[in-house]
Amino acid sequence: MADATLSTSYTEAAVVAASKERGEPGWLTEKRAESARAFEALPMPTTKLRPWKYTDVSSLAIESFAPDAAFEPVVSGVGPQGAFIGSLAEAAADATFGPIVEQHLGSLIPATEGKFIAANAAQWQHGAFVYASRAKAFEEPVTITLEASSGAVYPRLLVVAEAASDVTVIVRCVSGEDAVLASQVVEVIAGADSNVKLVFDVDWGLGTQEFTTVRAKTDRGADVRIATLAIGGALVKQSLEGILEGEGSQARIRGVALGDGTQHFDFVTLQDHVGAKTQSDVQIKTALAGSSQSIYYGVTRVEETGLGAAAEQENRNLLLSRNAKADSDPVLEILTNDVIRCGHGATVGPVDQEAFFYLQSRGLDRRQAMKLLVAGFFNSVLSDVGDDALREEVAAEVEQKLAVASI
Amino acid sequence: MTEPILQLKGLKASIADQPEVQILHGIDLEIAPGEIHAVMGPNGSGKSTMASTIAGSPSYVVDEGQVLLNGEDITAAAADERARKGVFLSFQYPTPIPGVTMVNLLREALKARRGEEMPAREFLEELRATLSRLKMPEEMARRYVNEGFSGGEKKRAEILQMGMLRPSLAILDETDSGLDVDALRTVAEGVMALREPNMGILIITHYERILNYITPDKVHILVKGKIVKSGDASLAKEIEANGYDPILKELGLLEGATA
């Protein structure tokens, strides 16, 4: 990409000017400048870094993708009293919500952490902010639609759930066939005893490369669930992380991916047990047709302070064709002797031949049998999503994709 | 004369992964419409291989001979094709299908068998009726296929599928194994109640227990991959009383075979 035209939007001067032009508050402009400097200073991740071992981005230049000025997340939903659902930029400039945004934005995922994150912190424009006030429950999920057309998009989402609140956010990702670079950053601050559910419906076109970091921090007794359903995209790399700080808090991370062609999925998970009696449960499942591939690297960490923690970590990869491949590496880092249970499991392999014959003996041909087995394989994750309409939509997408996938 | 439901003509079959190991050494068998046949034999005689081979399991290859269904040669047909033509295998060890409910499986299987979707109302009515014949709670149909089922539930679930799919040939592979007396009676009575008048039934069993509830028209004794003796239901009674040894001795086959 060395000969590609590089966008001038990434320099500190350009970033600061754009921030001022948008009329952002001073503190945000300062953050922008810092982010732009970090972006300039940070190298692209190399395959020497464990989370990037199998996703080589050395030939990718972020600057060769001009930020898409027209990109704007569509945020919709109705919240209870005191809630905020809408643009992050507007919230940042708001008298009531500005201080909340200032306090939390970048607090979990600092711009200096990595090149893609720095690019996002410097470039996001509208963003989305969901705020659930104390002890209030949203009746309906908040939906955020990310529709990208070309160039670089920088979706930014901040969810702040105050104590004992309850909110579900569904992020839908769509794009056409043009080349898109999507670098997404999502921070979730889950207050004491809050329930936060976050679902990603990844249905990008086949020209899109996604790099996402989702990090949730839990206060005492909070329950955070993150689910990602990846069907589309040329390259989807997501890091889904739960920082379990508060005693008795829990995180459940689920992911399914259905690959075909040359699709490349890369999931990283982190279950960081900081607080006592924290619980986490990760399940990532992929089914891979064509020459698609999936990479999983997950760390379960129980800190010295994570007494009585319980963690499960599971990665299953179903190879539907001879050319599909998967690499799985679940890691446990246990720094205390006092854990309730800490399990992990990983499998990579073709569909169970006995199950396959069983379905064939009921009259299902190869493709019908595969469809049913894959649908079943995903079902545990889909049934956990809890949103019936979304679940049916994804089930239909899976069905459609498998009707033509090379298996 | 009507065509037999099933004809095996000199059927020889081996293990797919070990072609040098032939299990069936030439089986001849003919089941007329509405007939019930039982194939009995000591362990290792090839009973389950026979069931699987008729159903088209890729674990076995046919070396010689033919399998005919309603007069049509299906020896080279894949398992799913045979099933659509009317072969049903009730598995000795039904496989769990994680995440797939029985309702889901039945709908797909019926669609495949009939070539079109069955109307939802009709499907539900039939499912309810079939479940009740098998004394199965409706909740069973919403559970994942064979996942966490008890032995008895698994076998009942197999017969449920038989009842819904209405095959022309039902092969019951050790359907009686692992069942207590009550469960066995329910399953056996279910088979009789759900049987279509012209359906051929092939019961594969080690013990004669199930034959106390389902009276076979013919009984065949399979030893070392060959049918060594055929008779009527009284042959099963003979085995119940004396075991396989007297028959094996009479045929000079006792050595090496275990009862």
Residues B13-24: tens digit of each pLDDT: 999 999 999 999
Average pLDDT over residues B122-136: 94
CA A126 to chain centre: 19
Residues on chain A touching B97 (C-beta within 8 angstroms): 355, 358-359, 372-373, 376
CA distance A398 to chain B (A): 14
Distance CA A159, CA A204 (A): 23
CA distance B2 to chain A (A): 25
CA A206 to chain centre: 18
* Yes or no, beta carbons of B97 and A377 under 8 Å apart: no
A375 at the B interface (CB within 8 A)?
Answer: yes
Digit-coded pLDDT (tens) for B36-46: 999 999 889 99
Residue carrying structure tokens 């659930």 = A132
Whole-number pLDDT of residue A393:
84
pTM score, whole prediction: 0.89
Residue carrying structure tokens 């970091």 = A213
Whole-number pLDDT of residue B257:
44
- List, for chain A, all residue ranges whose pLDDT scores fall below the cut of 50: 1-3
Residues on chain A touching B108 (C-beta within 8 angstroms): 362, 364, 368, 372
Distance CA A237, CA A187 (A): 17
Which residues are within 8 A (CB) of A27 and not within 5 positions of it... i.e. 6 or more apart? Answer: A102
* Yes or no, beta carbons of A360 and B83 under 8 Å apart: yes
Residues on chain B touching A363 (C-beta within 8 angstroms): 80, 83-84, 109, 112-113, 165
Residues on chain A touching B55 (C-beta within 8 angstroms): 361
Instruction: Please list the helix, strand and coil fractions of chain B in percent, rounded to the nearest 5, in that order.
Output: 35, 25, 35
Residue of chain A whose Cα is closest to the Cα of B58: A357
Q: Which domains are present in chain B? A: 6-250 (3.40.50.300)
In B31-60, the residues whose Cβ lies within 8 Å of chain A are 55-59
A174 at the B interface (CB within 8 A)?
Answer: no
Distance CA A352, CA A358 (A): 10
* Yes or no, beta carbons of B83 and A355 under 8 Å apart: no
* Yes or no, beta carbons of A379 and B99 under 8 Å apart: yes
**CB–CB of A291/A259 below 8 Å?**
no
- φ, ψ of residue A75 in degrees (nearest 5): -105, 125
Q: Which of A360, A366, A385, A392 to mutate to test the interface with B (most CBs of B within 10 A)?
A: A360
Residue of chain B whose Cα is closest to the Cα of A351: B97
Distance CA A315, CA A355 (A): 20
Distances (CA, A) of B249 to B3, B38, B126: 36, 21, 49
* Yes or no, beta carbons of A362 and B59 under 8 Å apart: no
Distances (CA, A) of A123 to A35, A216, A224: 9, 22, 28
Q: Considering chain B, what is the average pLDDT of its residues?
A: 93
Residue of chain B whose Cα is closest to the Cα of A376: B99
Smallest Cβ distance to A358: which of B59, B78, B91?
B91
Whole-number pLDDT of residue A381:
80
Whole-number pLDDT of residue A387:
77
**CB–CB of A347/A329 below 8 Å?**
no
Residue of chain A whose Cα is closest to the Cα of B94: A358
Residue of chain A whose Cα is closest to the Cα of B91: A358
* Yes or no, beta carbons of A376 and B97 under 8 Å apart: yes
Smallest Cβ distance to B112: which of A354, A364, A376?
A364
A364 at the B interface (CB within 8 A)?
Answer: yes
A365 at the B interface (CB within 8 A)?
Answer: yes
Whole-number pLDDT of residue A57:
97
B102 at the A interface (CB within 8 A)?
Answer: no
Distance CA B179, CA B141 (A): 20
Distances (CA, A) of A191 to A133, A135, A194, A403, B42: 10, 10, 5, 43, 67
Band the pLDDT of B255: cuts 50, 70, 90: low
Whole-number pLDDT of residue B1:
61
Number of A to B CB contacts under 8 A, please give it: 82
* Yes or no, beta carbons of B78 and A360 under 8 Å apart: yes
CA distance B226 to chain A (A): 25
CA B56 to chain centre: 12
* Yes or no, beta carbons of B112 and A363 under 8 Å apart: yes
**CB–CB of A319/A286 below 8 Å?**
no
Distance CA A344, CA B22 (A): 42
Digit-coded pLDDT (tens) for B81-108: 999 999 999 999 999 999 999 999 999 9
| DSSP run (H or E) holding A297 | strand A293-302
Please check the confidence at residue B259 and state whether its pLDDT lies above 60.
no
Q: Which of A318, A352, A362 to mutate to test the interface with B (most CBs of B within 10 A)?
A: A362
Share of chain B above pLDDT 70, in %: 98
Digit-coded pLDDT (tens) for B181-211: 998 999 999 999 999 899 999 999 988 889 9
In B65-94, the residues whose Cβ lies within 8 Å of chain A are 78-80, 82-84, 87-89, 91, 94
* Yes or no, beta carbons of B100 and A354 under 8 Å apart: no
Helix axis angle, B151-165 to B120-133, nearest 10°: 130
